[in-house]
Chain A
Amino acid sequence: GIQVEQSPPDLILQEGANSTLRCNFSDSVNNLQWFHQNPWGQLINLFYIPSGTKQNGRLSATTVATERYSLLYISSSQTTDSGVYFCAVSLTSGTYKYIFGTGTRLKVLA
């Protein structure tokens, strides 16, 4: 089946720093999402981004489907950005069964 790899697995930043998280996938995908899981376990959808670039405040994401990767950019990081970031991809249209990567654990220090 499809492999979803995220890098780096762990990241520690000083508040105010910028970072780039990467998601590589082994097959063509129709759909891709980025999620943030906060320290209390809540999963929040950040972007639905099957292709192209989107921005939402300090966060932006780019997916290059033809090259099988997606990037999540975090600028001017804050302690509230801490948690785990998951990339999830879906191969098939119509059912939207997403396969999740193992995540990037981010810790932002004050």
Chain B
Amino acid sequence: NAGVTQTPKFRVLKTGQSMTLLCAQDMNHEYMYWYRQDPGMGLRLIHYSVGEGTTAKGEVPDGYNVSRLKKQNFLLGLESAAPSQTSVYFCASSTGTGSGNYGYTFGSGTRLTVV
């Protein structure tokens, strides 16, 4: 009953470095999402995927890339980290159409600091 697992939980990067955040879900969900949360704000959608091999841009996609090579995994990449990308990153998943309940299950988050 792991649900949605995010790794790593914490990371400090230097400006210009790259890294990949991993999201894994074991609920056979079709849809997966990456959000960022900044202090005092709600969550903003970065990228999402409606199935294996598909990705699409959300509200704030610049500076990030994603891949979904396997249904259970959704990777978020930062090619050249900037201080403006300091944030808490949340992954979520949900079922596809026809299930009747389109609520999210969230991971526990990744706290990223770019110095």
Contacts and interface: CB of A to CB of B under 8 A. Distances in A.
B102 A102 contact: no
A35 B109 CA distance: 15
Nearest to B101: A48
A97 B88 CA distance: 19
A103 B33 contact: no
Query: Which range contains the number of A residues in contact with the other chain?
Result: 20 to 34
A31 B102 contact: yes
A93 B97 CA distance: 8
A8 to B, nearest CB: 15
Contacts, number: 58
A86 interface: yes
Query: Which range contains the number of B residues in contact with the other chain?
Result: 20 to 34
B44 A41 contact: no
B44 A33 contact: no
Determine which residue in A90, A99, A101 has the highest number of CB atoms from chain B within 10 A of its CB, and name it.
Answer: A99
22 contacts: A31-B102, A35-B104, A41-B88, A41-B108, A42-B106, A42-B108, A42-B109, A43-B90, A43-B106, A45-B106, A47-B103, A88-B104, A90-B102, A94-B50, A95-B31, A95-B56, A97-B48, A98-B45, A99-B45, A99-B59, A100-B43, A100-B44
B113 interface: no
A99 B98 CA distance: 21
A47 B33 CA distance: 19
B102 to A, nearest CB: 5
A101 B41 CA distance: 8
A31 B94 CA distance: 12
Given A86-B43, A103-B42, A98 B104 contact: yes
Given A33-B104, A45-B104, A48-B102, A97 B42 contact: no
Interface in A4-55: 4, 31, 33, 35, 41-45, 47-48
